[in-house]
Structure 1
Amino acid sequence: MELEFRLDRRGDTVVLIFHGGHMRAGLPLGEEVFAAAGCTVLVPSRPGYGGTPLSTAPHFCDAVRELCADLGVDRVAAAVGISGGGPTAATMAARHPSLVDRLIMISAVSFLPYPDPVTRLGAYVVFNGATERLTWAGVRALMRLAPEAGLRLMLRGLSTLPVGTVMAALSDDDRAMLLHLFSHMRSGRGFVSDLRPTPDVTAGIDQPTLVIATRTDRGVPFAHAESLANTIRHASLVESQAHTHLVWLGTDWPSIADRIRTFLDAYA
């Protein structure tokens, strides 16, 4: 089965990361904490993103299990679900417990209804297979010609706070990272596929689970984190003070990163 992936080899500890909407294996985000811990990072592109065909969706987690076997990976320290990659990571943990030791959910979509009907309709219009290329071409042009306006536009959808407050808290490095990120995102056929309901597997997850989210996330409401923490048996909820969906930009991220490293070490 065709499957695009990135493997950054470091130490013996392997972390399996499923990124969210508009992301693919070649576009890293929020992986620094695992790199700093010396972890090898395996990042498959989810169905419909990058070089992974949408046709892999029904058997994607099984294909990732086979990929791990082909790479000589018989255990992963954690499956990490970021944003829209949350249901995939959860399904991986439930379906392949002999492979996945722990689960980490970061700003993750749960199995609650998502998104709201208005957002869903807009997403079908803006990010379908016929329009997403034009949409992202427009975003790239805006980031190049009017970066301040471009950032304000994108961040409005990621925070419940006034966009001026969010912008004022960004460092120069944050701005550069966001400009690069938004300039390289694509939806392919994956984002519209992500809008379809996914079977709830939380009752089948026995692994220790860390759920990280902020109440000011407009992209994925905090209720999703609360749902995951309440329905997964061995889950702990860590509330970030970040201003946006991108919790790595929060001033408390260093302490949360420490919590992640402790979580990885505790069950070694």
Structure 2
Amino acid sequence: MGRDEAGAAGGQDRSGAGGGGTVRRPTEVGSTAHGPVEYRLERRGDDVLLVLHGGHMRAGLALGEDAFAAAGLSILAPSRPGYGRTPVQTGPTTEAYADAVAELCDGLGVARVAAVVGISGGGPTAVVMAARHPQLVRRLVLISAVGPLPWPGARTRAGGRVVFAPGAEAVTWAGVRLMLRAGGRPVLRRLVAGVSSAPGAAAWAGMSSADEVMLLELFGAMRSGRGFVRDLEPAPDLCGSVTQPALVVASRTDGGVPFTHAEALVAALPAADLVVSCAAGHFVWCSPDWPGIAEQIVAFVRAPFR
């Protein structure tokens, strides 16, 4: 396993901004029979959260984890195929990648995870992990997650295949960062409004200045690699095969992953509860009710296992 020195150099913990506390953190690469998997393992207590981040994210970025760290939960966050240093070949299918992550856990001495947490585009992979490896995964948590409905719309899928294609995505993100440096808060608010169905200023209602700092850091660190184009393809629906308790967190004004996905997940998973965030869009961490929701998640993953 090799440490990501670039991540280590930029890995000073500047967390604490808003609910998400995005920072760049060092990663390693583990070897599995399926191929290499980039990961970040932060050991604290015995309870481990296996965190599968969404689109444009990788293992070296921590989003929405501060409350879990404060509660003493360990975090294992692998990069999904095509993101960071996990090649597409490690997970030619979602099932194959789930098997690779299970092998990674075994190699790291993680025999059981308190929950697999699927965020946004990482939701389908989390569902497959829970369904395919019930001996490893005790519970399932889905946050602003893509569910068993078609996603995204045809226009978004077509545009995403162009602007986030390998090669083009570097130019796209360079342009985003240039606009943020030149335009500051107004540009950030336009980006936030793009993943909210709330009208006008309501799209960033409740967002604090610390949240804005966190989001500026987030957008400054995102890359799509080869992963996001893969995320645009249909994922297997194994919701009916999940036997573990599940908790689904979503906002009714999410413009990135519509709230209907949360409703479909709750309907399709055999034992799921829904927590509705008052966030003004996709970023549920940037909402006054996030600390309370995070407490519910911690209580859920630490409840006695039956």
Unaligned runs of 5+ in 2: 1-34
Moved more, 248-257 or 211-220: 248-257
2:36 aligns to what SS in structure 1?
coil
2:112 aligns to what SS in structure 1?
coil
Given residue 80 of structure 2, which amino acid in structure 1 is its aligned partner? R
Q: In the alignment, which of 66, 88, 105 is matched to residue 54 of structure 1? A: 88
Q: State the 1:264 CA deviation.
A: 1.5
2:176 aligns to what SS in structure 1?
helix
Structure 2 CA distance for aligned equivalents of residues 181 and 163 of structure 1? 22
2:75 aligns with: 41
Moved more, 249-258 or 108-117: 249-258
Q: In the alignment, which of 52, 70, 84 is matched to residue 107 of structure 2? A: 70
Render the CA deviation track for 1:93-139: whole Å, top value 9, x for unaligned.
00000000000000000121100101111111111113100000011
- The yes-or-no answer on 1:95 pairing with 2:103 is no
The structure in which a higher percent of residues are helix is: 1
Please provide the CA RMSD for this pair: 1.1
1:19 aligns with: 53
Q: State the 1:147 CA deviation.
A: 1.3
Q: In 2, are the aligned partners of 1:142 and 1:149 still within 8 Å (CA)?
A: no
- The yes-or-no answer on 1:126 pairing with 2:163 is yes
Unaligned runs of 5+ in 1: none
2:257 aligns to what SS in structure 1?
coil
Structure 1 CA distance for aligned equivalents of residues 150 and 132 of structure 2? 22
TM-score scaled by length of structure 1: 0.97
Q: State the 1:140 CA deviation.
A: 1.1
Q: In the alignment, which of 98, 114, 119 is matched to residue 151 of structure 2? A: 114
Q: State the 1:149 CA deviation.
A: 3.0
Q: State the 1:166 CA deviation.
A: 3.2
Structure 1 CA distance for aligned equivalents of residues 264 and 53 of structure 2? 20
1:155 aligns with: 192
Structure 2 CA distance for aligned equivalents of residues 163 and 253 of structure 1? 22
- The yes-or-no answer on 1:215 pairing with 2:252 is yes
Q: In 2, are the aligned partners of 1:83 and 1:109 still within 8 Å (CA)?
A: yes
Q: In the alignment, which of 242, 249, 252 is matched to residue 289 of structure 2? A: 252
Render the CA deviation track for 1:13-35: whole Å, top value 9, x for unaligned.
11100000000000110112211
Structure 2 CA distance for aligned equivalents of residues 69 and 100 of structure 1? 12
Given residue 294 of structure 2, which amino acid in structure 1 is its aligned partner? A
Given residue 2 of structure 1, which amino acid in structure 2 is its aligned partner? P
2:101 aligns to what SS in structure 1?
helix
1:88 aligns to what SS in structure 2?
helix
Q: In the alignment, which of 270, 275, 298 is matched to residue 233 of structure 1? A: 270
Structure 1 CA distance for aligned equivalents of residues 55 and 115 of structure 2? 20
Render the CA deviation track for 1:181-202: whole Å, top value 9, x for unaligned.
0111000000000011111101
Given residue 28 of structure 1, which amino acid in structure 2 is its aligned partner? A
Structure 1 CA distance for aligned equivalents of residues 298 and 243 of structure 2? 20
Q: In the alignment, which of 67, 75, 80 is matched to residue 117 of structure 2? A: 80
Q: State the 1:259 CA deviation.
A: 1.1
Render the CA deviation track for 1:207-241: whole Å, top value 9, x for unaligned.
00000001100000000000000010010011111
1:30 aligns with: 64
Render the CA deviation track for 1:151-171: whole Å, top value 9, x for unaligned.
023112211113423345321
Render the CA deviation track for 1:223-262: whole Å, top value 9, x for unaligned.
0000000010010011111111011111111221121122
Q: In 1, are the aligned partners of 2:131 and 2:242 still within 8 Å (CA)?
A: yes
